[in-house]
């Protein structure tokens, strides 16, 4: 769950990401697999949420890159 103030531009990015995943099943699977792997790695290393996020970051950044390029934003 994320909590943002009204009119926060971050909500747009999150919605675009959600919509991209709904429309791109291959990226949805990659994201799902990255989350599962990050959770397993973080748990095995007795890590914290920062570690979990760090493990997911490369996949998320790759998806954002393709999503923004496809939208003409990069």
In a domain, 26, yes or no: yes
Going 44 to 45 to 46 to 51, the CA torsion angle's sign is negative
Tally of domains in the chain: 1
In a domain, 28, yes or no: yes
pTM summary value: 0.81
In a domain, 10, yes or no: no
Q: What is the pLDDT of residue 45?
A: 86
Q: What is the pLDDT of residue 4?
A: 84
Cβ pair 39, 52 in contact under 8 A: yes
Range of the domain at 57: 20-70
In a domain, 7, yes or no: no
In a domain, 3, yes or no: no
In a domain, 15, yes or no: no
Q: What is the pLDDT of residue 74?
A: 83
In a domain, 9, yes or no: no
Per-residue pLDDT of the chain (74 residues; tens, 9 = 90+): 778 888 888 888 889 999 999 999 999 999 999 999 999 998 888 888 888 999 999 999 999 999 999 999 88
Cα(35)–Cα(39) distance, integer angstroms: 6
In a domain, 61, yes or no: yes
């Amino acid at each position: 769950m994320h909590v943002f103030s009204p009119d926060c531009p971050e909500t747009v990015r999150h919605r675009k990401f959600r919509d991209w995943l709904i429309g791109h099943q291959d990226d949805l699977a990659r994201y799902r697999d990255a989350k599962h792997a990050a959770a397993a790695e973080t748990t095995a290393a007795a890590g914290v949420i920062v570690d979990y996020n760090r493990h997911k970051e490369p996949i998320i950044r790759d998806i954002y890159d393709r999503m923004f390029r496809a939208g003409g934003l990069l």
